Structure 1
């Protein structure tokens, strides 16, 4: 089957939720909103376009890093396989939702400043470094 991989850049709009599947495997999921922006040539102002919402699911090696770094309101980039889930709604109509099974997730450093504490040698989950993200200012973004 053909797999569709894509990268999305957006903002986390839900608190990440860690759960276990019926088979006992852990997964962290969160919602991301990606709003396109265009410059209005007549006014020279930026205007927001439509917003894409999708659920990002993180498995296995991503659990520790995503659990420490991702929070509601943070700017993120996620890369993975995207698919459409179809399901019946409460009123019986058919609905659909986009879901990404992520292979990589990170903070968008064009919109925040990250302080990394630890060393690259600390790769084990027990030694995971602390990460603090703060919104980028015009001065720090330049």
Structure 2
């Protein structure tokens, strides 16, 4: 099921790569319902729902240099609900396999920097015309901009940290996999 959710980034973005070298990032998203209480004549908070957002390939790489804990965001993607048992207790985890993530501009401003390295796609490709889960356009190895490499290196304890052999100007990333 495709959903779009408004919320706040609740954790720093965690970055790693699969065994095949596919970039992956995730973060926790907190979504608190706000409603107007006519009796109190004031806005009140409802329940907070917690989701894990996972992004792949170019979106994962771009999240590293774009989001910080506390940022208001819109996340669009495929909703997944996982349930399992731990002894007698039942556990549930709600996840979004993100297709698109952006700042909520009703709450602030943002400066856009175009990513480079995608071949076969005109600027803005992948919008409304793309079918969810459809194969992406032909993609060559991307060069990750130096500001993203530095953002990854500056995060302590990250899995899949960029290796010391990163060439000046960026790291080569081959977007293959899930």
Provide the TM-score with structure 1 as the length reference: 0.76
Question: Structure 2: how far apart are the matches of 1:128 and 1:79?
Answer: 27
Matched, 1:35 2:32: yes
Quick one: distance in 1 between partners of 2:146 and 2:102? 15
Do residues 93 (structure 1) and 86 (structure 2) align?
Answer: no
For the Cα contact (< 8 Å) 2:50–2:94, is it kept in 1?
yes
The aligned residue for residue 106 of structure 2 is 110
Q: Distance in 2 between matches of 1:25 and 1:107?
A: 24
Unaligned runs of 5+ in 1: 131-142
Q: Structure 2 unaligned runs (5+)?
A: 118-142, 149-178
> RMSD of the alignment, in Å?
2.2
Q: Which has the higher strand share?
A: 1
Q: Distance in 2 between matches of 1:51 and 1:30?
A: 16
Aligned pair count?
123
The C-alpha deviation readout for 1:28-69, integer Å capped at 9, x for no partner, is: 000001111111111210000111110000001202221111
